[in-house]
Amino acid sequence: MLAFLKKWSVFLVLALGASASAYSAPKTVLVVGDSLSAEYGIARGAGWVALLEQKLKAEKIQARVVNASISGETTSGGRARLPALLGQHRPDIVVIELGANDGLRGLPVASADANLRAMVAMAKEKKAEVLLVGMRMPPNYGRAYTEKFFGMFKQVSTDTRSPLVPFMLEGVADKPALFQQDRLHPLAAAHPIILSNIWPAFASLIRKQ
């Protein structure tokens, strides 16, 4: 009986150790975005994605962050690139920050909607969690278009059961001093604010992993 108990104790220790190791295994985060995530016009390492990596280290969360963002990217471009990125990096979490360029070009909201849904489906098929990052259009695009565009992110989030950051530029968009001369791209000083908008939803996801 004593021998049995010793063997059982060893088994439990090994099993719990394996479980803890699996839980603490580093996660891979894939960010698929546009210039707002690609550090356009600012120093390397100053954007919100780089700040996210620093935040994860400070929180002692083991994670590798892959920034696959490209300036000028649209939802159709992201949709085309995503399969290869999923295969290459095998992410646990995919952050989709796309749509701004679709909106600025006045592209049909229905097309962006379909592309985002396809990207979410691709990621979830590979067992990755998805975080959607929403955007608003300037009022000069007209109320009907801007409201439909903004509402698209919420609808995709609801239908696909994916968490959403409603507006990544909350607390930034109404402050001209936080933008570069083009009035489209935030300065480095704005990126900690952007991260503060994204972090709560992101933290909930990665802590579930």
Active site residues: 35, 182, 185
Token readout for 94 is 């995919």
CA distance 78 to 25: 28
C-alpha distance from residue 155 to each of 2, 7, 42, 151, 158 (Å): 60, 54, 32, 6, 5
Note the residue count of the chain.
209
Which region holds residue 146: left if phi is over 0, alpha if psi is between -120 and 50, else beta? alpha
Show the CA angle centred on residue 163, arms to residues 81 and 198, nearest 5°: 80
